[in-house]
Structure 1
Amino acid sequence: MMHPVAFVFALVLALTIWYGPVGATMATDSGQYRCYNTKEAIDCPPPGNAFYGQDGNVSHVPAPYEAHGDIVRDPVTGLSWQRSPDLARRSFDDARSYCSGLTLEGENGWRVPSLHELFTLIDYGRKKPSLDPIFFTTENPVWSADTFPGNDALGYIVSFEDGGVFQTRTHFFMNVRCVRGAVLPYGPYTDRGRFVLDESTGLSWLQADEAPATWKDALRFCQVLEDGGNNDWRLPNARELSSLLDPSRTPIAANTRFSAHPEAYWTSTTDIQTPTNAWVMQYDTATSHTVVKTEARRFRCVRTDQAIAVPHDLLLMF
């Protein structure tokens, strides 16, 4: 058993490294701890082996949600969430009116969450719902605050049945889960030649993307990559890659610092319901779905720069 003094030191060190400076928004874990090949679950492979570097190989700190009555607070993002979604189906405009008039636990100032914020709730290790059990939930799609650029009649919804993100007409009726707090920003980004550092997540990205490849080959490419004096590159998980997906931009839903195409990009996250598939982020429509792993898709490698991933086994010691 860990000595109490060592325990406290390790915990403080881990939290200090993870949370970083005040106001930092480090990327939390996607929720997927198992590993997969192109067909089924497998033991997580060691470095140098096929399928190494996937989501299940890299464990970050799980979101330390705190429940306060009808509110769930996320101290990583600084956001407060409505614990139980509004079960009434509403149009996009009605959802905004509902949230703006909401009072929970004596707190007002609620709003419809952005797509960027809703992505932080998706738990890719769960299905039906793909959401931490601290939340009271419905599997029905919920509204985001985003609309397609130049077309306010087309909005974005997130399905917590499986974590998919779709476009739909804003006059359709969906559920909503309101949020409170400063809108979660993208970046700021720092250019470092061939790399781009996202200071809000501590992730360093290759500025250029790679030609289409299968999921297995994309994992392998990032695993063996040595660039910028670093050899710890990997294929990003769904939570990480979603942090670059910006629905306010068109025709490519990504910051112009990144070389990107209006296509689907691999994540290292498997669809646990259909392990032959992995999640992709679609940069022409700012949506997310799954694709058969043997198909070829573009990808972009990432490495952890400012944030440090705390091993899942170490967390269990705490």
Structure 2
Amino acid sequence: MKNPKSLGVIFLISFNLWNCEAEHKNYNLETSVLLALTSAASVPPGSLFKLPDSNQTNCYDTSGATRACAGTGEDGEVTNTPAPFSLQLQDSGETILEESSGLTWQRCLFGMIWNGSTCIGSSLNVYWQVANAYCNSLTTAGRSWRLPTARESVLFGDHSQTTFLSNTYFPNLQAAGGWTSTPAVGFFGRYLFYAVGSISAMDETNNFPVRCVSGPKVPNASFTDMGDGTVQEDNTGLLIKKCAYSQADDATCTGSANALTWQQALDYCNNLNFASRTDWRLPSVRESYFILEPSLTSSNLPLSLFPNSSQASIAWTGTTANNALTNAHAQMVYQLNSYSKSDTSSVRARCVAGP
């Protein structure tokens, strides 16, 4: 771990780099922290959080060739679900609003400057404490800013884009990933968001890019057992099948969760008739982050509601990896990690429906 002296040196260097710009001259860390705590309210109780669609509109077979989406069960078939993905320029082009989530994103990474038409300069990589202090002190467009949570960090990317971000909205792309504020449970670190849309745990003393967010905080997961073999995530309305593929649909999800190829997993969920519903599917890569709760200690799924979850510690999503069309995203129950897996890999399946 870096000692306090080196932390201070790095912070001062970072401060001097961004303090020379007009938008950063009103630096007041204490005031900014207080503003962030008071203005970043969560979604109001009783209303569903509008989880934006991944925006993946094409479907692909296991060779990576485009195919018709109808009947595939892929992410590209289920559009605008749970809510549309829509980006909007704000603040004279300096920030980007994602309308469904209500989150406003810094258009240029830390170290880059918006000159009225594009992001100029180069992004700076810093360790987590500097990243957190920078976002808390930022005053761009008169807004209160913070590091995004792990869940928030997956909401502004566009899974129709090979680069994950659209150059129209995020010009001069450099190191599109960055730090999040979410602690990695059982690990000295925080979750790091990557340009391809995946997340993994990273030691806080490593250096990575920073992109700040403003707006209402995305809620933590809240689950309700529906008593019919399904569990509802209350904030999104998403319905989750309690037991994974090939487990018995009993109180403890007895048995092993057998692995499937991606196509087999798509077919299983797409043809499932369970709990009086036939609209089952693999979750999108975005939905996969909302059937987990990273504040839990031993597992990101509450074991009282999802027993025997270790049998399905990694499960498929319906989203193709936009930078490798013969791969799809898979989500790990533990440590909130996501992966890009070959479609022919053997991975478990847990289905969702709704909302």
TM-score range, shorter chain: 0.7 to 0.9
Structure-1 residue corresponding to 2:38: none
Asked if the contact 1:264–1:297 (Cα under 8 Å) also holds between the matched residues in 2, the reply is: yes
Asked if the contact 2:163–2:323 (Cα under 8 Å) also holds between the matched residues in 1, the reply is: no
Asked if the contact 2:86–2:100 (Cα under 8 Å) also holds between the matched residues in 1, the reply is: yes
Structure-2 residue corresponding to 1:94: 130
1:97-176 alignment, distance < 5 Å: 97-107=133-143, 109-131=144-166, 133-136=168-171, 137-151=173-187, 153-160=188-195, 162-176=196-210
Structure-1 residue corresponding to 2:18: none
1:222-237 alignment, distance < 5 Å: 222-237=269-284
> Matches of 1:302 and 1:132 in 2, distance apart?
32
Is 1:68 equivalent to 2:90 in the alignment?
A: yes
Please state whether the residue corresponding to 2:124 is helix, strand or coil: strand
Quote how far apart the aligned CAs of 1:236 are. 1.2
Give the paired residue count: 278
Is 1:254 equivalent to 2:307 in the alignment?
A: no
Please state whether the residue corresponding to 1:205 is helix, strand or coil: strand
Quote how far apart the aligned CAs of 1:41 are. 2.2
Structure-1 residue corresponding to 2:332: 282
> Matches of 2:147 and 2:166 in 1, distance apart?
18
Q: Deviations over 1:91-131 (max 9, x none)?
A: 10001110111001122x31111001001123222122445
**Farther off after superposition, 245-254 or 196-205:** 245-254
> Matches of 2:166 and 2:205 in 1, distance apart?
26
Runs of 5+ in structure 2 lacking a partner?
1-44, 111-122, 246-256
- Kindly, what percent of the aligned residue pairs are identical? 28
Asked if the contact 1:278–1:293 (Cα under 8 Å) also holds between the matched residues in 2, the reply is: yes
Quote how far apart the aligned CAs of 1:170 are. 0.7
Please state whether the residue corresponding to 2:292 is helix, strand or coil: coil
> Matches of 2:153 and 2:170 in 1, distance apart?
13
Runs of 5+ in structure 1 lacking a partner?
1-20, 306-318
Is 1:32 equivalent to 2:56 in the alignment?
A: yes
> Matches of 2:127 and 2:270 in 1, distance apart?
45
Quote how far apart the aligned CAs of 1:144 are. 0.5
Residues 150 and 40 from structure 1, CA distance in 2 versus in 1: closer, same or farther, beyond 3 angstroms?
A: closer
- Bigger strand fraction: 1
Q: Which structure has the larger Rg?
A: 2
Asked if the contact 2:69–2:76 (Cα under 8 Å) also holds between the matched residues in 1, the reply is: no
* TM-score normalised over the length of structure 1: 0.80
Residues 135 and 25 from structure 1, CA distance in 2 versus in 1: closer, same or farther, beyond 3 angstroms?
A: farther
Q: Deviations over 1:178-236 (max 9, x none)?
A: 11233211333322111112232222111122222111111111121111111111111
Quote how far apart the aligned CAs of 1:40 are. 1.8
Q: Which amino acid aligns with 2:54?
A: S
* TM-score normalised over the length of structure 2: 0.73
Structure-1 residue corresponding to 2:238: 203
